[in-house]
Chains A and B, each alone.
Chain A
């Protein structure tokens, strides 16, 4: 079975500082990996997806993520955070063998200080 762990429940970062959100997954083969963002009271918006090839994935809103097979990680980064990045971030894993269903991590809430 596939699983996802986001070790940080909350992260507070100053506006303009860099941000890194951790994600570790468990799956027997190379999965599809996703990062979604959820603003309060809203649905989930896809930031980026790893599906094959280049392990550094560029996404929307200036985010990027790096797939590290040896560490079973897919950490999300942004070099300079804006106040509008305050939201909940979910890492997810999907696999054809799991019926293409997504398994979500518990989420990391990001607070941005002025």
Chain B
């Protein structure tokens, strides 16, 4: 089945130690998104890629970076994790538009990040 895969599912890091989360997709979608979701809150969009074009949300801290080396893979880098960065990180993919019935964002299972 076509899908969105995130690795690892659980990640523990130390305060200030860089960490990288991985997302891959077999849907061949142009757009890939990274969301941060804290407990009992809605997902918050950090940034997205449309092909190789990077689009950062205005309120995303500089501590968060992303790379998309090819269509299938996208990485979230947290340069110096703080305690406040502990959260679930969700990757999603989509086609460029929303006009078709099947157009939506397809989510991976998420990576739960713990910062010690």
A: residues with CB less than 8 A from B are 32, 34, 36, 41-46, 49, 51, 88, 90, 94-96, 99-102, 104-107, 109
Contacts and interface: CB of A to CB of B under 8 A. Distances in A.
Nearest to B105: A102
B42 A51 contact: no
Interface of B: 4, 6, 31, 40-43, 45, 48, 55, 88, 90, 92, 94, 96-101, 103-110, 112
Contacts of A49: 101, 103-104
Given A51-B99, A51-B100, A96-B97, A43 B110 contact: yes
A18 B103 CA distance: 29
Contact of A109 (B40, B92, B101, B106): B40
Contacts of B98: 32, 51, 94-96, 100
B99 A96 contact: yes
Given A44-B43, A90-B42, A34 B104 contact: yes
A104 B42 contact: yes
Nearest to B91: A43
Contacts of A106: 41-42
B42 A42 contact: no
A109 B98 CA distance: 27
A34 B90 CA distance: 17
B107 A44 contact: yes
Nearest to A10: B40
A36 B107 CA distance: 10
Nearest to A6: B42
Contacts of B96: 100
